[in-house]
Amino acid sequence: MLDHATIFKALHEIYAAEFPSQPIVLTDTTTAADIKGWDSMAHVRLILAIEERFGFQFSNREVGRMSNVGRMVDLIAKKTAEAAT
């Protein structure tokens, strides 16, 4: 299972690549409203990049529960733990 810090580092790299024109500071409570340009299309690109990076796919239900970065981290940790077993 990946730890919180490892997942956060990977997410920071993904977000920085998606939003290169601004400094990205992620916290557990970061939402789309906190990052300029994080619209529905950017969200799709983020999800695809996360899936590619970690080697799994999210269900539509899982994507719908990602209300902030902390929820993303929790879900990624859960899915990577499940994949390891």
Residue 85: the pLDDT is 78
Domains of the chain, by residue range, sit at 4-84
CB 84 within 8 A of CB 1: yes
Residue 82: the pLDDT is 87
Q: What confidence tens digit (pLDDT) does each residue in 55-80 have? A: 999 999 999 999 999 999 999 999 99
Q: What confidence tens digit (pLDDT) does each residue in 20-56 have? A: 999 999 999 999 999 999 999 999 999 999 999 999 9
Residue 84: the pLDDT is 80
Report the share of the chain in percent with pLDDT over 70.
100
Q: What angle do CA 63, 69, 72 make, to 5 degrees?
A: 40
For residue 14, which phi and psi values (nearest 5 degrees)? Answer: -65, -45
Tokens 């810090």 found at: 5
CB 18 within 8 A of CB 69: no
The mean predicted confidence, pLDDT, of the chain is 93
Report the share of the chain in percent with pLDDT over 90.
86
Q: What's the CA gap between 24 and 21, in Å, rounded? A: 9
- From 3.40.50.720, 3.10.50.40, 1.10.10.10, 1.10.1200.10, which CATH number describes the 4-84 domain? 1.10.1200.10
CA proximity to 53, closest of 73, 70, 35, 39:
73
